Structure 1
Amino acid sequence: MNEYQSQYTIYAVKPKQPWEDGASYWLPLLYSELQEGRARFGWGYGPTSDIRVIKKKIQDNGFDNLTSDERGVWSRAGFLLDVRPGDYFVYINMPEWGQCTVVQIDGEYDYDDEPWDPDREDDFRHRLPCHFVAQFGRNDEIVPPILSQRLKLQGARYRIGLHREFEELLRRLAAGEKGTNPNDAIRNIVGRSLHAISEEIYRHFPRKNLEEFVAQLLKSQPNIREVRKGPDRNGADLEVDIEVPIGPVSLTLCCAVQVKAYTGTMDYTRAIRDIEKALTSDSRYDCGLIVTTASEYTQQFEQALNELRERCKKPVEVLLGSDLAYTLVSDYVNSTK
């Protein structure tokens, strides 16, 4: 990690997911490619998906003159031209669900002229040279909780800004640590405490009472302009207006919120169906948020969540019980200053 300057970007990248068609074929191939020094990305098939060529077409003739396939490739893979040596790719659910694989990028973008896979299924032609760094479970004890949350699939690709936590994780992985040192012991205590607080929230605020609790907690968060009761009938328990400052101006986004009182591991996808109902029935909603007291969710829930994001083309996130407890503790600390 010392070979490059500290100014680098961490990209979370989605390969084929274990529940998707073709996963049993593609995941071993893509993992092998990472080990051999090639970081691949999807939406790369056929002779017209080279994003360098697409960029040149945009510069010469404008975006509107692209084909629909070229637009799709550009919107999903165009970021690869911004990736620089020293950046990191963290492949989510690679080589299996719950596992993450880290590589560091060593060079510039390239594109295969011909299908590279043995059965010529033809995808993932986008590639960057890399070297293999590590594989780990995102819920392992050595993974900082805030980083673990960001390593749950949140789209085809997104940036992770937690450089300090990421570098600490890489150091621990390189040292072969298993989460038993004093720092990790304290983190485990914090994690258990947050879990206990989450269970108390579940016990003290059943059903509709939890909605009122979440509404009051959200009102105290920065950049929240307004929290109001949702119309229910369209799937939104709450509506939240979020102010996003951009230089001297700001934008306001409207978020549909589903609140679910749950304990243990959540595999109940009713919340996903309700959020989808809200996002598709009211164009005012720019994004969705599921708030629950559950401690974790299953692979099936994550699959349904990811499929929802792809259908709606809008961000949808989940606050689990420990996240809710952390927000409550932070709010309490800030209120006592």
Structure 2
Amino acid sequence: MLPQVFTFAKVPDTARSSIYNAIKEGKSRFGMWDQEVSLREQYHGANGFLLNIKPGDWIVHVNLPAYGQCVAVQVCGEYDFDQGVECAWGRDFCNYLTVDPSTLIEFSRNDTNVLPSVNLRPMRRGQRVLNVADFLTSIENLKTSRYNDITPSLRSIIHLRERVNQDVLPRLTQAIQEMNKGKDFEIFLHEVFMQMPHTVSVKNGFGWRTDHGADLLVDFQNPIGGVTLSTRLVVQAKSYSGAHHDLNAVDQIVEGMEKYNADGGLLITTGQATETLENYAAEKSEACGRTIDLIAGPEVGRFVLRHAPHLLIGNDFT
């Protein structure tokens, strides 16, 4: 189960230093409310959420130690109450959670390592961060300085691209597989190849004939200085779910390259490529002296989006 994440905000300038130092000493403080005793003695609706914060949860102090900065720290104890800290208006910030200073991370609220989906502009003094998974990803990014070299203006783009790679493309490939089983996947890929310029795709082995290891024969015609050079590719199409362990498709490609005098081979599988599959394709490629490439898993979705997006988006086929 994912931890909870809370933001604490709206600390006056005169109290920032005291609250910041308290965090480094192991106490994440919350206050600025008319409260004289512990919530365990007298429930106070405005601060009652503090009782729900448990060890393992995270607290992010926004605009601390200065405006635009954040301090994230992990909770290691239950809610408690003490005399707080001395402020310009008297004793305050008496509510606290015991935290682990070794987990403390300081960063800019607009740091490129922080996903834009993480709300670090709370409207209340205490507020839940709903997108916990993205927050945890942001923490790992900060720890490893993953995107430190990225220009801040590209922050949303880099995280959008990562979301597409990690979430959208796998789901797109899954949808392609679910809607295209067996020969249907070959027909689907034929339509994709036919959208590429200077490319001719031939559906091979349909009906009673054997395909001799080639589901599709794809000729790429490259005009250079009035002369057209052609490259022939043997394509094996596999509509798989889960990991792709079967090596027979690679053997079929080798057979197809020999039969049709092809320049190379390509295995397109909706399954996840395994190390065994990749190594076997490399071994056979070296043995026959022709390149055997692999498009697998999420890369299938990327391949279709790049070359035939209209097959996925819109309501026409023109």
Please state which band the TM-score falls in when normalised by the shorter chain.
Answer: 0.3 to 0.5
Larger strand fraction of residues: 2
Q: Given the two structures, how large is their TM-score scaled by the length of structure 2? A: 0.46
Higher relative contact order (CA closer than 8 Å, sequence separation 6+) = 1
Rg comparison, structure with higher value: 2
Q: Given the two structures, how large is their TM-score scaled by the length of structure 1? A: 0.43
Larger helix fraction of residues: 1
